[in-house]
Structure 1
């Protein structure tokens, strides 16, 4: 019994003395499924957390219908979602995929741009031309399987190659797009993209074990490091208090 009384006393003190000072950083970690990445600042879950839990442009939603694509986000230039597979908070990288498993189509359709978002490509961009070719065409780049069939193949090649070779004479141009390039290049491996962000910069906090990054308070854009365990405990106590 004394141990139980001590626990509630500590909880009481934490709740009434620490919570006022941690009001902007009591969001803690969250997730959509047991197998999806942990979500914490600067990301936040729109359907579960207030916007003060994250940074502008980092809002995510849960997709309960799909186990392996359970976290979705959009950018202003696209009405379609991307799925998040992995987040590296220390290096500030995120790995995204196309929920329809055909990222090349989105490039071909010029469906999106990250120019107005906090994210940028890790790899340099190169202009590619997307081509519809007969299977008799001798092309150097492999077909894009999600766009090709038994009658024709769709591929993409560096645009500078188009005028320097006659191999494309049996192909028709579909469109051009800037595509992140990392050799050796295989279109079927383009099932996802690696992005990075620079703002907000929480590396100073992520490099310290047991610390989490967040806003200093609800009205400031200043960042601060907080104790991760204390934040999670405060979240639990806040939830208990709202349920009373």
Structure 2
């Protein structure tokens, strides 16, 4: 049976080798509450590593069931992926707690080059102010950040240039303090805010729908433009465009040949081995039965007693010769 186990193991290995590398093993996937995920992205634990491009790993949050992305400078805190536009190569991310200004303050989007494949087209400098409830004099463009405020203080975000101009106009002397807007407010930090989010920040306050991230590598725009799927070739060395209809027509020819070879040869060997094993068992069973029958036959047969020679009366009828002590024929007296 050890030979049969070896054949079956080899069979499974060959099938795995020829089937797994095909594009049919990388179908689109998604989290329960997330967008469709396909190349260059991949869902960890649900899609093979070769189904995605390095740096494009996404995850499913076990609690919220949303799709999440981790940036290199986000202090381990992930972003929720809201949408992915594969034609424009853009995705929209948001903070899980719906407080993107907090992520601006911790500089989650200030990623140096070569640490992440994602880029933000442009930024705008903002100053964040921490003001007491008594503060009434603020720039017209100041936006109230409710998710960072409480009953004891209020946080505002103001474009840096407009804040500086406002501060100069309110300063009683030619040398105003650059770090305060009066005794009731102080500058928390000056940070870069993505331009798209900055527009929403000025209009809606902290109710920002998300931040747009773009990527240029891998460039799948050509594949998308001609209606083909983008992905890695067999050895993951370059980007190729594949026909999505080909996936429904069955396996590639190379995979079919591989399966024929992988299944045919081990299958024939398995059949021969199984037939040899069955024949051996049958022969052994037949020899054992014949031995048992021979033993039972010998045990049942009784040995025949054959008596040969003359009977007693016939022997007594013959004349007798008397021998002496010297074993000689005695002479008559």
Tell me the TM-score range normalised by the shorter chain.
0.7 to 0.9
Q: How many residues align?
A: 214
1:72 aligns with 2:68: yes
1:196 aligns with 2:214: yes
**Residue 103 of structure 2, aligned match among 106, 114, 117:** 106
Equivalent residue, structure 1, for 2:136: 137
Deviation at 1:61, TM superposition (A): 0.6
Pair 1:232–1:97, CA change in 2 (3 A): farther
Pair 1:204–1:90, CA change in 2 (3 A): same
Pair 1:74–1:231, CA change in 2 (3 A): farther
CA distance in 1, matches of 2:22, 2:46: 16
Equivalent residue, structure 2, for 1:12: none
The structure showing larger relative contact order (alpha-carbon pairs under 8 Å, at least 6 residues apart) is 1
Cα-to-partner distance string for 1:96-149 (whole Å, 9 max, x where unaligned): 010111110111122443332111114x21111111012433222120110112
Pair 1:85–1:104, CA change in 2 (3 A): same
Equivalent residue, structure 2, for 1:10: none
Equivalent residue, structure 1, for 2:151: 150
Cα-to-partner distance string for 1:41-86 (whole Å, 9 max, x where unaligned): 000011112221111110001113214xx10110122211011010
Listed as ranges, the gaps of 5+ residues in structure 2 are: 1-14, 171-180, 260-333
**Residue 215 of structure 1, aligned match among 232, 240, 244:** 232
Equivalent residue, structure 1, for 2:4: none
Cα-to-partner distance string for 1:194-222 (whole Å, 9 max, x where unaligned): 1111111101111223x2100122241x1
Listed as ranges, the gaps of 5+ residues in structure 1 are: 1-15
Equivalent residue, structure 1, for 2:190: 176
CA distance in 2, matches of 1:233, 1:30: 20
CA distance in 1, matches of 2:240, 2:108: 37
The 8 Å contact of residues 25 and 216 in structure 1, kept in 2 or not, is answered as no
CA distance in 1, matches of 2:160, 2:209: 21
Q: What is the TM-score of this pair, normalised by structure 1?
A: 0.78
1:227 aligns with 2:243: yes
The 8 Å contact of residues 25 and 53 in structure 1, kept in 2 or not, is answered as no
Pair 1:82–1:233, CA change in 2 (3 A): farther
3-state SS, counterpart of residue 96 of structure 1: strand
CA distance in 1, matches of 2:206, 2:249: 45
Query: Whose Rg is larger?
Result: 2
3-state SS, counterpart of residue 143 of structure 1: strand
Deviation at 1:22, TM superposition (A): 5.5
- Relative to total residues, which structure has the larger strand share, 1 or 2? 1
- Relative to total residues, which structure has the larger helix share, 1 or 2? 2
CA distance in 1, matches of 2:165, 2:221: 45
Pair 1:111–1:91, CA change in 2 (3 A): closer
Equivalent residue, structure 2, for 1:4: none
Equivalent residue, structure 2, for 1:27: 26
CA distance in 2, matches of 1:219, 1:165: 56
The 8 Å contact of residues 127 and 191 in structure 2, kept in 1 or not, is answered as yes
Q: What is the TM-score of this pair, normalised by structure 2?
A: 0.58
Pair 1:191–1:21, CA change in 2 (3 A): closer
Indicate the RMSD between aligned Cα atoms, in angstroms: 2.6
